[in-house]
Amino acid sequence: MNLEHQHVVVIGGSSGIGLGVARACIERGATLTLVSRSPQKLAGAAAELGATDRVRTFAADATQEAEVRRLFSERPPAHHVVVTAVQGHYQPIRELELAAARRTIDSKLVAALHVAKHARVEPGGSLVFTTGIASVRPGPGGSVVAAVNGALVSLVRALAIELAPVRVNALSPGWVDTPVWDSIAGGEKEQRFAQHARRLPVRRVGAPADIAHAALFLMGNGFTTGEVLHVDGGHRLV
């Protein structure tokens, strides 16, 4: 896929899946706007990507409508907007801290609403949101993430109708080796990954490049909208 002369906005682009998407877009000639709450992380991501003439950074919190409005008013119209940012919260329902749960809801669902409301997208362009395996295979303590992921699936379908001809789709990753797992699993990450890989038909956990490849498909295929593309190594089957 050739993205030369196309502007891609990646919200959550300073690390993990978002940085993987950004790298794939740069390799295909895109001009990027990387968005994250942390200016320091953005600077590090931009340096890692290189191609400084085609990478701009924008510090913003997508849970705040005013900041999303400012992002899209100050940057040129986008051909594609990819949203990967999330603050995940895992906790048994009997111990649920509602304030923490709301941060997850805001970071994934409310932020998506802000982007859908304010994004300026060129004709033939797309919005790509990120749901996840928890919507169909929730785990213990994952009720909030499962609920938000499921809500995003429904939102994508509704937005595909309302925002047409802009296309709206979602990625649904399985387990992907990103820095967020360092906080989820700590020192047990490698052991948990190895156990999980043995269950999967593909016999490995995902990498950011796997999800980036799928994001490129959703950006490039002009006949795909309102869809959720599962990139989970067969997790739904086991």
For 1-11, write each residue's pLDDT tens digit: 899 999 999 99
Residue 182 has pLDDT above 90, yes or no: no
Boundaries of every domain in the chain: 7-229
Instruction: State residue 88's pLDDT score.
Output: 80
DSSP state string for the chain: ---TT-EEEEETTTSHHHHHHHHHHHHTT-EEEEEES-HHHHHHHHHHH--GGGEEEEE--TTSHHHHHHHHHHSPPEEEEEE---------GGG--HHHHHHHHIIIIIHHHHHHHH--EEEEEEEEEE--GGGTS--TT-HHHHHHHHHHHHHHHHHHHHSTTSEEEEEEE-SB--THHHHHHGGGHHHHHHHHHHHSTTSS-B-HHHHHHHHHHHHH-TT--S-EEEESTTGGG-
Calculate the average pLDDT of the chain.
95
Instruction: State residue 224's pLDDT score.
Output: 98
Instruction: State residue 187's pLDDT score.
Output: 81
Instruction: State residue 51's pLDDT score.
Output: 72
Is the bond into 123 cis (omega within 30 degrees of 0)? no
Distance from C-alpha of 201 to C-alpha of 237, rounded to nearest angstrom = 8
- CATH dotted code for 7-229: 3.40.50.720
State percent of the chain over pLDDT 90.
Answer: 87
Instruction: State residue 186's pLDDT score.
Output: 75
Asked if 84 and 11 count as a contact pair (C-beta separation under 8 A), the reply is yes
Asked if 140 and 183 count as a contact pair (C-beta separation under 8 A), the reply is no
Dihedral over Cα of 145, 39, 17, 114: its sign: positive
Residue length of the chain: 238
23-51 average pLDDT score: 95
56-60 average pLDDT score: 97
Residue 58 has pLDDT above 90, yes or no: yes
78-105 average pLDDT score: 92
Instruction: State residue 75's pLDDT score.
Output: 96
Residue 180 has pLDDT above 90, yes or no: no
Distance from C-alpha of 124 to C-alpha of 166, rounded to nearest angstrom = 6
For 108-146, write each residue's pLDDT tens digit: 999 999 999 999 999 899 999 999 999 999 988 999 999
Instruction: State residue 23's pLDDT score.
Output: 96
State percent of the chain over pLDDT 70.
Answer: 100
Instruction: State residue 92's pLDDT score.
Output: 92
For 89-98, write each residue's pLDDT tens digit: 888 999 999 9
